[in-house]
Amino acid sequence: MDRAIATPYIGLTDTALRADPSAEEAIASYDFGFRSIPTTVELLSFAAVWQGSSVVVHWETASEVDNLGFSLYRAESPAHKPDSPLNGGLIPSHAPPGSGLGASFSFLDYSVPPGRTYQYWLESVDVQGGKTRYAPAAIRVYKAYLPVIVRNH
């Protein structure tokens, strides 16, 4: 009775097992079993709201894997994607590197004149320096005119 012996995966592909070990093809088809973990941010929400005299940009992540932090960009047109971030330095991740945890973030943009529509882009920066830019959030900033109430005695 023939019995199959289970062997653990050691990183050899079927081609490498069948090839002559001295042949170049065996080395080319060798799979050493290294698997890279994606450096991603799973974004739950990204929005901009007018509050007082500034725009509050808020975003929340479900998870962050090897994320250093974020940069935020603003433009008046969705076609114009700015090159310079609003924030002076990287907005650091609140999740420990490699933890896969998420967090909440807010950024106050004080330099927005009313009467215009703005687009905000969020960009994550991973530990390898890779950058991912997310779709823009738009907000129309209106001028608010409050009525003047005069009290006559």
Q: Provide the 10 A C-beta neighbour count for residue 39.
A: 20
pLDDT in tens, 9-64: 333 333 333 344 444 444 444 444 444 445 578 999 999 998 888 899 999 999 99
Cα–Cα distance for residue pair 101/114, rounded to 1 Å = 37
Q: Regarding predicted confidence, which is higher, 99 or 143?
A: 99
Residue 73, pLDDT > 60, answer: yes
pLDDT of residue 56: 93
Say which residues have a Cβ less than 8 Å from residue 104's Cβ, sequence separation at least 6: 58, 59, 60, 61, 94
pLDDT confidence of 90, banded at 50, 70, 90?
very high
pLDDT in tens, 102-128: 999 999 998 888 888 899 999 999 888
Which domains can be identified in the chain, with CATH numbers? 9-37 (no CATH), 41-141 (2.60.40.10)
What's this model's pTM, rounded to 2 decimal places?
A: 0.66
